[in-house]
């Protein structure tokens, strides 16, 4: 199973999902070991399969991550999820393909690398009183800003400096994420497993647990789950795992992210989730 050198803040206030999964799989008799993805001393071809679990620093080292994917692909390694899927999913420009296929996504302004951020133009195009600006390749709310027009103008110089390093995107701030939360639908082997609803702490918009967010396990509305299943059927049916993140707007699931690289799977929130993961893994290994 593939991880990173240090899990850092991601372990704060969370159970050790990696350890939970490791114990379960080894208890089933699988010879599972942990390997750091950017360890140059590993002979990747020695393994029957590489399960991508927690390379939570890949977006900080994206060029090295792409090179590593090339290396394991050239070595003929079986990678779960597939290498082509990991490459596609690493950059949020994948939203364009999903929107073209009929998926409802949050309206997006694309800010190319070395371009100049124009706050007035971004707000005018998005028609929002507040926007989110974040990198196209990112995770854990890194370099993510929630801004009014005045704040965006004040942050323009900082954003332009960041744009020299990588492309960004801008989206309207979805108030419902603060008030109602963000849904995560988890699938194994293309089949639905369980759902969580993530809510931000009062006064914040970030739902991640290390920013004080909390996790709930309500029964999801059938229409939202059906949309999530359709998304997985179209874009992740051959994947060991998939997490569909979205917000409910007018009883419709609007996609925030399709997580196919290193999502936290909330395995402790649903009885039987570990067994469902194991069954999907065994099917992939056949």
Q: What is the pLDDT of residues 269-285, one digit of tens each?
A: 999 999 999 999 999 99
DSSP letter string, 22-39:
HHHHHHTT-----EETT-
pLDDT confidence of residue 13: 39
pLDDT confidence of residue 14: 46
pLDDT confidence of residue 139: 81
pLDDT confidence of residue 178: 84
Interacting residues of 144 by C-beta distance below 8 A, sequence separation 6+: 132, 133, 134, 135, 138, 206
Burial class of residue 27, CB neighbours in 10 A (0-12, 13-18, 19+)? exposed
Which two tokens mark 89? 């999913």
pLDDT confidence of residue 207: 45
Q: For the chain, what is the largest distance between any 2 Cα atoms, rounded to a whole number of angstroms?
A: 59
**Is the CB of residue 248 less than 8 Å from the CB of residue 176?**
yes
Work out the number of other CB atoms within 10 angstroms of the CB of residue 263.
20
Interacting residues of 176 by C-beta distance below 8 A, sequence separation 6+: 247, 248, 249
**Is the CB of residue 205 less than 8 Å from the CB of residue 193?**
no
Which two tokens mark 225? 């789950």
Sole residue written with tokens 């992740």: 236
pLDDT in tens, 235-255: 999 999 999 999 999 999 999
- Tell me if the pTM is above 0.75: yes
Angle between helices 17-27 and 273-285 in degrees, nearest 10 = 60
Mean pLDDT per 10-residue interval, the chain, length 286 residues: 81 71 98 97 97 95 97 97 98 97 97 97 96 92 92 98 97 90 97 93 52 79 98 97 96 96 95 98 96
Residue 232, CB half-sphere, CA atoms under 13 Å: how many? 27
Query: Which H or E run contains 257?
Result: strand 252-259
Which two tokens mark 194? 């369980």
Strand boundaries in 55-177, DSSP class E? 79-80, 109-111, 130-135, 145-148, 168-172
């Amino acid at each position: 199973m593939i991880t990173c050198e240090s899990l850092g803040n991601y372990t704060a206030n969370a159970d050790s999902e990696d350890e939970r999964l490791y114990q379960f799989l080894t208890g089933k008799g699988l010879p599972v070991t942990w390997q750091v993805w950017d360890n140059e001393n590993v002979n990747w071809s020695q393994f029957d399969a590489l399960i991508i679990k927690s390379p939570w620093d890949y977006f900080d080292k994206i060029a090295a991550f792409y090179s590593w994917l090339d290396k394991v692909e050239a070595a003929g390694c079986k990678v779960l999820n597939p290498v082509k899927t990991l490459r596609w999913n690493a950059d949020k420009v994948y939203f364009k393909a999903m929107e073209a296929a009929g998926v409802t996504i949050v309206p997006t302004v694309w800010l190319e690398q070395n371009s100049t951020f124009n706050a007035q133009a971004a707000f005018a195009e998005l028609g929002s009183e507040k926007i989110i600006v974040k990198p196209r390749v990112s995770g854990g709310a890194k370099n993510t800003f929630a801004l009014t027009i005045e704040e965006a103008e004040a942050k323009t110089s900082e954003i332009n400096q960041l744009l020299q390093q990588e492309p960004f995107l801008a989206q309207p701030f979805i108030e419902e994420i603060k008030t109602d939360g963000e849904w995560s639908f988890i699938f194994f082997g293309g089949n639905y497993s369980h759902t969580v609803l993530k809510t931000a702490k009062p006064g914040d918009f970030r739902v991640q647990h290390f920013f004080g967010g909390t996790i709930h396990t309500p029964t999801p509305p059938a229409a939202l789950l059906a949309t999530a299943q359709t998304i997985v059927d179209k874009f992740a049916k051959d994947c060991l795992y998939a997490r569909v993140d979205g917000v409910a707007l007018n009883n419709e699931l609007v996609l925030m992210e399709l997580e196919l690289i290193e999502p936290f799977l909330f395995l402790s929130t649903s009885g039987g989730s570990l067994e469902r993961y194991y069954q999907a893994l065994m099917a992939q290994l056949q």
